[in-house]
Structures are given as structure tokens and as C-alpha cells.
Chain A
Amino acid sequence: MTVIGWLQIVVFFAIVVALVKPLGGYMTRVFNGERTFLSPVLRPVEAGMYRISGVDETREQHWLTYTVAMLLFHVGGVLIIYGLMRLQAFLPLNPAGQSAVAEDLSFNTAISFITNTNWQNYGGESTLSYLTQMVGLTHQNFLSAATGIALAVALIRGFSRASVGTIGNFWVDVVRCTLYVLLPICIVYALFLVSQGMPQTLGDYVEATTLEGARQTIAVGPVASQVAIKMLGTNGGGFFNTNAAHPFENPTALSNFVQMLSIFVLGAALTNVFGRMVGNQRQGWAILAVMGVLFFAGVAVCYWAEASGTSTLQALGLSGGNMEGKEVRFGIVASSLFAVVTTAASCGAVDAMHDSFTALGGMIPLINMQLGEIIVGGVGAGLYGMLLFVILAIFVAGLMVGRTPEYVGKKIETREVKMAMLAILVLPLMYLGWTAVAVVYPPAVASMANAGPHGFTEVLYAYTSSTGNNGSAFGGLTGNTFFYNLTLASAMFVGRFFMIIPAMAIAGSLAAKKSVAASVGTFPTTGGLFVGLVVGVILIIGGLTFFPALALGPIVEHLAMNAGNVF
């Protein structure tokens, strides 16, 4: 580890924190339906969309209606992606002549993109046409991100409102999020990425004759427009097979730094939106502090492990850390930081191959996802995931002093705690359950690329990543098989919607409650004690759930490596 390395990490987090307040203020105005500086341009488009779709923007929805609207929207999304992938051979904008994608892979990819997972069982440049990338994937990157943010805002409204039966209008939230937040940032961002060297063209793959006279086919495409929303919306599904490690998907150290910022910025700003909407910004900062503590702990371990290298490298006298699977322009520190950022949020883009990380370095992304991706988290999903843990922490605090817990003026009662537990427990059920099945099913075992405990970690990582809607992978695992395509899709589906529905039920039940004034007996939720309590609850629940699985994978691999074993 070097001083300059740590400086990169600190500067990164400082910039994220500096952006939280201005962006939080802007997003609050957007979701409160107020005018913004973009309204003169965008308001006519917005009003036109409500007119043609018959949406009455003043009519708010009950939590059930809100959730059903969201689900209907996603059914359409699945059909569009699936249809495009199956029919791409007959459709335009297919200069590389890609053929139809198989049924199970198309299904997996469709579920993957509507759930904001963006798991890559496909290899972008070798499988998909430009039309599929644009209309299928770029488009769904926007919508799954907008949906996540809309749901988080709906849950915030549950906390901030009192004695009402509605939590907002799903259509208005999605349209406003797309038009006022995502699209304007992406336009500027995509052009910046092109300036750094990212292609943005509909032309054919380039045929080059190298300096030594060999032929090299260079895949290009409309990359920048997709990468902008892929990062900003914490989607993470790459244009190319190797995602943000590919020089065209992440050309420079600066593009890498800005990509990491863009993964965190909306999720972090949502904590401020929360603070503003419940009338006390310090409530938002307290949540961000919980995230910050967990974030720095993860970065420290991952950076240390990667900089230390492996015993194989050390035995050969190779210093400079574990560079297998990493790019020279990013080096150890930017690769470790990216791995922590992308799994803390539910992004899943990678700028280095996690499969080749050291055992402990690769365990940090795994833990980040198993905690539920609440360290900033996916846009929206991170905040509502974190609020579920807050509800639990408040409940534990209430048990300690023997009174009904309150949070930002709302009594937390049986229904909320039950729903929070349901959402939290469904995640390990998916990733531990499917891992257990896969490691005893011979065709699934055959997909492992590495032998020994590392192979087990590959499978555990795959189901953890898909359940958490992350999408990063230990890429050696051959996931494009019938078994994995279907089981991973089921993990993504359950991981997304079985978390959303309880969260929306909580939103509805909170919105209907009276607001109670804080008294001397109220547990203050803006101080260090609260931050410590939430961090503790997260680590205890997380640790109890997945520590045994980690012991079989990365921990035993680390011990084996130190003993000089290879598999």
C-alpha cells in the first residue's frame, strides 16, 4: 500500500460527499414535483408523455397499486429484451452479423436487465447486435435505475407523510427520474467518456493489420451512451465481455475515476433526499456515516490483500502486488477501489477480474454483496435496503429499553419488523440455497474454472451477485448453461422483487400512521451511538448468515495459500 494509493481513495470519497448535498437538493425538488432549471425544456416532453399515456399526474397511488404498476412495467421490459435477442439476426443495426441468442440465455439476460442485475452470461461483442445493445440494454438500464430510485422515494414518502393512504404515483416518479435526473447527466457524461477514447459509432468492427503484420479485428460500437447509464444507474452490464477492464469501456485513469464516482453519486445523494423529505438532513448524514464506516473497512482489507500479492507470486520473487487480471493503467489501488465500490453499490461493473483476486481481496466484494449492498447501494435499492436494517436496529434498541421504537417520528411496530425480516431473510435463502444445490449437481460443478475452494467461491459468488442484483462475477465460472441460466434468473428475480414488495408494504403502512413528536424517551437517530448500533446490527446479521459459507471458500483458500498449496 502506498501514500498515493490512499490519497486516491480519500479524494474519491471526499468528492462523493461533496456532491451529496447539491444533488440531493435537486433530486428532492424533482420528486416533489417542483420546477427545476431544466423545466423549460423538459416540462413539455413530460406533459406530453402523461397525455398520450392517460396518466393523471395529480392522482396518487396506494402502495399496492404503485407496486402493481411497477410490475406491469417490467413485464413489458422482459418481452422487449427477449424479443430483440431472439430476432436480432433479422433486424437492422447488426453489422457483425450476430445470430439469434438461445432461449435460456435470452431469458436470463431479460431477467438480468429488468432487475438491475446485468449479469453477463452473454459476451457483448461476440453475441449482441447494436440494436439489441441500444434498444434492449441501454433502454432497460435507464428504466431499472429509474424504478429503483422511484421505489426508494416512495419508501421515503412513507416515513415523511402522516395519516395518508398513498405513497406517490409510480408513472410520474419514473418519468421525472428518467427525464430530469438520468438523461441530462448521461448526455454530458457520455460525451466526456468519448473524449477519453470510448467509441460511439454504428460502424463495422475494424479490420487492422498490426505492426507485425497479423490481422486484428477490433470490436467497436455505440459504447459511450450505454456505459454512461450503466454506471450512473448502477446497472453494470458491459458493452464488452470484460466490462470496464476493456480499454474501450474504460480508456484512462480519469475515465476510471469518474466511473467510480458515478456509481456512488446518486445512491449517496438519496440519503440526503431522505433527510430533506423527513425534515432533518442530519438523519440522512447519519445513514451515510454508517455506509462510510463499512466502505472504508472494506477498501482497507481489499487494497491490503491485493498489494500483498499471493504466495505463488512471492515465491517467484515477483513484487508489486497481484497483477493477474488487472490493467496496468489502473494498477493495484484503482482496481481494488473499483471492486469495493462496484459491490458496495449494486453496480457489478468490473475494471479487473475478481476471479483472479487474492482470496481475501475477493472476499470483500462477496461480503459487500451478502450484506445486501447497502453501502451506498444500487440507486434506490441501496437506500431501501439500508432502511430495512435501520428498522431492525431501532427495533433492537427498543427491546433494550422496553418501549415501542420510533424512527423519524414513526412508531416501528410488528408489521414493519416482520416485513423487514422477510426482505432480509429471503436473500440468504436464495444465495445459500442455490449454492448448496449447485455444488452437489455434477453438471453445475463442471462449470467451475478453478479447482479446490476457489471453485466453490465462484459458485457462491455467482448466486450472491445475482440475488443481490449486482452482476459482477468470478468470471471463470461457465454460467451460460441451462442450469445456471435458469437458477441465476430465479435468484435475480426473487432477490429484486421479494425485497421490493415488503419494502413497499412498509411504505404503505408507515404513510398511514400518525406522526409522533420526539420526546425525551426517543432514541436519537443522528448521533454516533445510532451509527454504531446500525453498523453492529448489519455485521451481526450478516456474519451469522454467511460466515460458514465464507469459511468454506475464501477463508480456507487463504489458509491453503499460506501453506503453499495449489489446486
Chain B
Amino acid sequence: MLREIRPAIVLLLALTVITGLAYPLAMTGLAGVLFPSQAQGSLIEKDGKVIGSALIGQEFKDDKYFHGRPSATSAPDPADSTKTVSAPYNAANSSGSNLGPTSKALADRLKEDVDKLRAENPSQPVPVDLVTTSGSGLDAHISPEAALFQVPRVAKARNMPEDAVKQIVTANTEGRLLGLLGEPRVNVLALNLALDRAK
């Protein structure tokens, strides 16, 4: 048994160097050459400043922008570091709500949000993704239904005809890959950027 001690130490160190250092560093180098934009986080720049990542959702509150899904992320309370406060779309601390199917807190939150949206647009059914928080709290997408639901509000805030806004939504809707994988979706940041470009 004692003669197994040397391989235990030497092989552990050798494999640490190979899999823990050489492999990730080589991948970092290769990725930087082959896919430089993705490797850095698919960042979007506007006027030379980073305004976010194409893959990470951000918070929109203004009526003239399409809104993303509710987000359950939090941040340390500046007043008391042992507590946390709600901080939607905090991309340095991803988190879901983790509220279960019989949670009263979830039922109350859903009711409040649904009532608010019904008041905003009584003509269409409220899309489920617009009132549920995502798993990561950073979902960049909403369903096409959730985008169309917001068209009247956005069109009004921008003084644009609803059809023109609808067209931009359609142009920014992505389908399933090969007609099979994933779900139809709209990237909220991309949609809002397209909207800003249109007007």
C-alpha cells in the first residue's frame, strides 16, 4: 500500500497542471483567437461604451421600452451587509425566486403583476412569462406574445403607429433552431436598440 503514496502525490500534481492550468489557459487562448467576441461575453457597445451583453437581460422601466421578465436577483443591503435587497438583473449575482407552487408569496406577487398588466392592456390575455421570474434572473428574452402584449404601450409612449412597432417586433423574433430546438423568443435589448434606431 505504501508504494501507492508516490503516484498519489505526483499524478495528482501532474493532472492538476494539465487539467487545472494548461487546459483552461489553452482554451482561453484559442477562444480569444477563434471567437473573440463571444469569449469576452458578447458585449454590445454604443458610442464606444459598453451598454451590456447580448445574452444578459437588463432592467427596463420606461414606457417607451419593451420590458423584460421580472427578476429575482438581489444585492447586499448597503445599510446592513448581512441582509440583501432586491436588485433586478444583477449580473454579478444570478438567482431565481425559488418560490414553490403553493407559495403564498408567489401567489400574491403574481396577482399584483397580473392586475397591473391587465390595466395596461385589457384586450389581450397576460402572457405567463411576463409575470414569472426566470431561473437566472437574467433572462434576455421574452416570448413573442409578451412582446406583442406591450406594443400599445410602447407605440403610445413613442408616438409611433402600432403597426410600425409590431413590424420591429416581428423582425426581431427568433424561431426554433431547425424548427425543433428551443422556443420562439424576442431579445429585449436587441428589440429596444432596434426601436431606438427606428426613431
Residue ranges of A at the interface with B (Cβ–Cβ < 8 Å): 4, 7-8, 11, 49, 52-55, 65, 68-69, 72-73, 75-77, 80, 123, 125-126, 134-136, 138-139, 142-143, 171, 174-175, 178, 183, 186-187, 190-191, 194-203, 205-212, 214, 216-220, 222, 224-226, 229, 240-242, 245-248, 251-254, 256-257, 309-310, 312-313, 316-331, 334-335, 350-353, 355-359, 362, 449-454, 457, 474-476, 557, 560-561, 565-567
Whether B21 contacts A134 by the Cβ 8 Å rule is yes
- Of the A-B pairs whose beta carbons lie under 8 Å apart in the complex, a sample of 9, sorted by A's number, is A69-B8, A174-B11, A212-B59, A246-B94, A317-B114, A352-B135, A353-B96, A356-B99, A454-B101
Instruction: Check if B11 sits within 8 Å of A175, measured CB to CB.
Output: yes
Measured between beta carbons, the chain A residues less than 8 angstroms from B131 are: 318
Q: For residue A65, which residues in chain B have a CB less than 8 angstroms away from its CB?
A: 1, 4
Whether a CB of chain A sits under 8 angstroms from the CB of B189 is yes
Q: Do A197 and B38 touch (CB < 8 A)? A: yes
Task: Determine whether the beta carbon of A317 is less than 8 Å from that of B5.
Answer: no
Q: Which of B8, B98, B138, B196 contacts A72 (CB 8 A)?
A: B8
Contact partners of B106 in chain A: CB under 8 A: 312, 324, 356
Given A49-B14, A321-B128, A352-B135, A475 contacting B49 (CB threshold 8 A):
no
A246 to chain B, nearest CB (A): 5
Question: Contacts A72-B5, A138-B24 known; A353 to B98 CB distance under 8 Å?
Answer: yes
How distant is the Cα of A459 from the Cα of B73 in the complex, in angstroms?
A: 23
Q: Do A252 and B6 touch (CB < 8 A)?
A: no
Told that A138-B19, A183-B23, A248-B55 touch, could you supply 12 new A-B pairs with CB distance under 8 A? A11-B180, A191-B35, A222-B27, A247-B57, A247-B138, A251-B55, A252-B177, A320-B127, A328-B69, A353-B135, A452-B102, A457-B100
Which B1-41 residues sit within 8 Å CB-CB of chain A? 1, 3-12, 14-16, 18-21, 23-24, 26-28, 30-32, 34-35, 38-41
CA distance A172 to B91 in the complex (A): 43
Residue of B nearest to A135 (CB): B20
Looking across the interface, which residue of chain A has its beta carbon closest to that of B58? A210
CA distance A325 to B32 in the complex (A): 32
Q: Is the CB of A200 within 8 A of B101?
A: no
A208, A242, A350, A355: the one contacting B43 at CB < 8 Å is: A208
Q: When the two chains form their complex, are residues A567 and B102 in contact, meaning their CB atoms are under 8 A apart?
A: yes
CB neighbours (8 Å) of A450 from chain B are 98-100, 102-103
A-B contacts counted at CB < 8 A amount to 377
A475: nearest chain-B partner, CB-CB? B98
Q: How far is the CB of B36 from chain A (nearest CB, A)?
A: 10
* A331 → chain B closest CB, angstroms: 4
Selected from B3, B12, B94, B102, the residue in CB contact (under 8 A) with A359 is B102
Is B27 within 8 A of A324, CB to CB? no
Binding site for A on B (CB under 8 A): 1, 3-12, 14-16, 18-21, 23-24, 26-28, 30-32, 34-35, 38-43, 49-62, 65, 69, 89-104, 106-107, 110-111, 114, 125-129, 131-143, 176-177, 179-183, 185, 189, 192-193, 196
Cα(A240)–Cα(B137), bound, Å? 12
**Contact call B182/A330, Cβ cutoff below 8 A:** yes
Minimum CB–CB distance from B103 to chain A (whole Å) comes to: 5
> Lowest 10 A-B CB distances belong to which pairs?
A253-B182, A139-B20, A245-B135, A476-B98, A331-B183, A53-B10, A353-B96, A454-B100, A200-B31, A135-B20
Contacts of B193 in A (CB 8 A): 211
B contact residues around A359 at 8 Å (CB): 100-102
**What is the distance, in angstroms, from B143's C-beta to the closest C-beta of chain A?**
6
* B92: chain A residues within 8 A (beta carbon): 125-126, 205, 217-219
Minimum CB–CB distance for A8 against chain B, Å: 6
Q: Which residue of A lies closest to B37 (CB)?
A: A197
Docked-complex contact A241 and B93, CB < 8 angstroms: yes
> Using Cβ atoms and an 8 Å threshold, which residues of chain B touch A49?
11, 14
In the assembled complex, the Cα of A58 lies from the Cα of B69 at a distance in Å of 60
A202 touches B28 (CB 8 A): yes
Q: What is the bound-complex CA distance between A474 and B101, given in angstroms?
A: 12
> Quick one: closest A residue to B137, CB to CB?
A242
- Inter-chain CA distance A197–B14, complex, in Å, is 31
Whether the pair B1, A68 counts as a contact (CB closer than 8 A) is yes
Which residues on A sit within 8 Å (CB–CB) of B128?
Answer: 309, 313, 318-321, 323
A201-B32, A211-B65, A328-B142 are known contacts. Are A7 and B135 too (CB-CB below 8 A)?
no
Query: Smallest Cβ distance from B84 to chain A, in angstroms?
Result: 11
Q: Report A369 CB to chain B, min CB distance, Å.
A: 18
Query: A53 near B6 (CB under 8 angstroms)?
Result: yes
B23 touching A218, Cβ below 8 Å: no
For B11, give the chain A residue with the smallest CB separation: A53
Chain A residue numbers with a CB within 8 Å of B18 are 178, 183
Q: How far is the CA of A190 from the CA of B32 in the complex (A)?
A: 12
Q: Which residue of B lies closest to A248 (CB)?
A: B55
Given A139-B20, A201-B41, verify A241-B134 contact (CB < 8 Å).
no
Asked whether A325 and B181 contact (CB < 8 A) given A208-B52, A313-B128, A319-B125, the answer is no
- Answer whether A7 and B180 are a contact pair too, CB < 8 Å, given A217-B91, A325-B135: yes
**Max chain A C-beta neighbours (<10 A), residue from B23, B62, B135:** B135
Please determine whether B185 and A329 come into contact, CB atoms closer than 8 angstroms.
yes
In the bound complex, do residue A253 and residue B177 qualify as a contact, i.e. CB atoms below 8 Å apart? yes
Tell me the smallest distance from the CB of B68 to a CB of chain A, in Å: 9
Q: How far is B100's CA from A343's CA once the two chains are assembled, in angstroms?
A: 19
Report B-chain residues with C-beta under 8 Å of the C-beta of A352. 135
B34 touches A191 (CB 8 A): yes
Question: Which of A72, A256, A567 interacts with B182 by CB under 8 Å?
Answer: A256
Nearest to B22 among chain A residues (CB) is: A183
